[in-house]
Amino acid sequence: MKPIILDVDTGLDDACALLLAARHPDLDLKAVTCAGGNVGIDQVVVNTLTVLEAAGRPDVPVARGAALPLLQPVRTAPHVHGADGLGNLDWPKSTRTAEGRHAVELLRDVLLEAARTGDLITLIPLAPLTNIALLLRTYPEAAAGLREIVFMGGAAGIGNATASAEFNIWTDPEAAAITLTAAGELGVEVTMYGLDVFYDVPITLSEAKTLGGSPSADLARLLIEKRCDLYRADRATIGDAGAVCAVIDPPGLTTRPFPLRVELSGTWSRGRTIVDTRDWSGDLTTDPFGPQPNPVQVATAVDGPRYANLWLQTVS
């Protein structure tokens, strides 16, 4: 079993990811940490506990983390996830409460234990990277417990929050820049599962309607139905859950190492992940910045049917 931690801002597709991570037999979900993003932090915590309850995993510790980005107000996405983040499904809420520890403290404690035992953890951030930036700068020693970071965010191509920027990075670009820099300095391998593959793992409405018979499967069906309804389509991507699929089944994802920087100051491009696809073996001495020293594995293609089937089989 692969030990993992999810960092979430639980909206509809984070919920799809939580169901997969909680139910798949090859994953050992050690903890879930929460950040403000798709909805405010208090609702993120409620949604996360509720989804884990439906998945039959009340044993997984959940911690409340950063309510706000490092330098700007939180910008939620009710037009994508509904006012409550779960499409206003009115699913029964969990009565459980979050840990007393802050998310960064929970991350630190679990990772230091992993470093002690050698059972290294894959961290899967599906939210703005605020908690992760705070962790790596406050407790850099915790990186010794990391096998890798596989985050959902960014894009080599177009954005979605703006023409340039993907939502998670746009929400807290400073945190994204700090996370990438710190991971490079600490020797942590990073994979970016971005918009270039995000939409390429769809579940059809007819496939969703076959799900049922357990709380996990019932909720999974409703999540896809709601996403189809919001987009007025007959299919919907599992979104963030694709990053979890990539951890379970790496051969289903094609990646290439590229230098990656985050734009922090552009009027029209703030939050853009600048993926440098140039061939640095040539003469690029005119670039005053030089190559970014720690390339990131950037997802360039995904086997959509393979990951869709993986998700369906697991949540059912």
For the cut 80, the answer to whether the pLDDT of residue 292 exceeds it is no
Backbone torsions φ then ψ of 275, nearest 5 degrees: -90, 115
pLDDT at residue 243, rounded to an integer: 98
Q: Which domains are delineated in the chain?
A: 2-315 (3.90.245.10)
Q: What is the mean pLDDT of residues 184-206?
A: 97
- Over residues 76-121, the pLDDT tens digits come to 988 889 899 999 998 999 999 999 999 999 999 999 999 999 999 9
Phi, psi of 274 (to 5 degrees): -90, 105
pLDDT at site 78: 87
Q: In the structure, what pLDDT confidence band is assigned to residue 282 with cuts at 50, 70 and 90?
A: low
Does residue 220 carry a pLDDT above 90? Answer: yes
* Mean pLDDT in residue range 138-157: 98
Confidence of residue 294 (pLDDT cuts 50, 70, 90): confident
Cα–Cα distance between 220 and 238 in angstroms, integer?
Answer: 10
pLDDT band at 278 (very low <50, low <70, confident <90, very high): confident
